[in-house]
């Protein structure tokens, strides 16, 4: 039994969710360049809706990336501040895996090539196999998360289905899977509800980390993360 707040600002979407023992409340908005203004009021609103305080949570989760450099910094910084102030552990969750979970729920397909548009002719990509036993979903990484030009991705033996904005390069990516028969949904974006669902499982598996380990995953080598001093006090 756990109560977990999750946030995501890794793409133009901005979302906050509260997972209370598997029951999920979510606020999801398409809000390009508005994350800084929206994220904390959205957190306050969803906690108020559930009549909970930060101190009553078990952990805070966030979309650790890959995704927008600025968006990832916002999410990590907000989570650091909230978790530090309330003395809570943090659960970083892959945005690519969160999209896979949503796609699996929607289509019940097992193999997914999850991709986000990384600009500059590149994609953030990961390959996954999904299994479900007794309503518990497990996502196994078959292709390590990376940033790469779509034409440089190796050809796969498995029939991957596609999810995420990186499938704007559909014509190229479909040549990487057998028979070009993959189902593709470019409209699924990372969202806090699915980050929270994965975090719920990770929490039970003791995979939460301290606030000092709550770092984003940029994937691009030239971008480094320098943790800023924590400035958000107790709420």
* Per-residue model confidence as pLDDT tens digits over 43-73: 999 999 999 999 999 999 999 999 999 999 9
**Which CATH homologous superfamily contains domain 3-94+190-213?**
ATPase, nucleotide binding domain (3.30.420.40)
Predicted confidence (pLDDT) per residue in 97-132, tens digit: 999 999 999 999 999 999 999 999 999 999 999 999
- Whether the pLDDT of residue 229 is over 90: the answer is no
For residue 177, what pLDDT is reported? 81
pLDDT for the residue 220: 77
Closest among 160, 156, 28 to 100, alpha carbons compared: 160
d(CA 32, CA 14): 8
**Residue extents of the structural domains in the chain:** 3-94+190-213, 96-185
Fold of 96-185: Nucleotidyltransferase; domain 5 (3.30.420)
96-185 has the same fold as 3-94+190-213: yes
Contact 15, 192 (CB under 8 A): yes
């Amino acid at each position: 039994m756990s109560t977990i707040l999750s946030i995501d600002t890794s793409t133009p979407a901005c979302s906050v969710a509260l997972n209370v023992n598997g029951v999920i409340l979510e606020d999801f908005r398409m809000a390009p360049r508005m994350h800084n203004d929206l994220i904390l009021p959205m957190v306050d609103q969803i906690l108020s809706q559930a009549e909970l305080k930060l101190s009553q949570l078990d952990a805070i989760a966030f979309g650790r990336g890959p995704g927008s450099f600025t968006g990832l910094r916002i999410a990590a910084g907000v989570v650091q501040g909230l978790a530090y102030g309330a003395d809570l552990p943090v659960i970083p969750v892959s945005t690519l895996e969160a999209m896979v979970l949503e796609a699996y729920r929607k289509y019940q397909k097992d193999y997914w090539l999850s991709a986000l548009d990384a600009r500059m002719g590149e994609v953030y990509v990961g390959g996954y196999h999904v299994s479900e036993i007794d309503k518990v979903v497990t996502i196994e990484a078959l292709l390590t998360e990376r940033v790469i030009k779509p034409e440089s991705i190796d050809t796969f033996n498995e029939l991957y289905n596609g999810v995420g904005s990186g499938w704007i390069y559909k014509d190229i990516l479909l040549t990487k899977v057998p028979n070009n028969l993959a189902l593709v949904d470019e409209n699924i974006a990372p969202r806090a509800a699915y980050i929270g669902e994965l975090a719920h499982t990770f929490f039970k598996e003791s995979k939460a980390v301290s606030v000092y380990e709550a770092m984003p995953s940029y994937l691009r080598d030239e971008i480094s993360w320098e943790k800023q001093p924590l400035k958000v006090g107790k709420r």
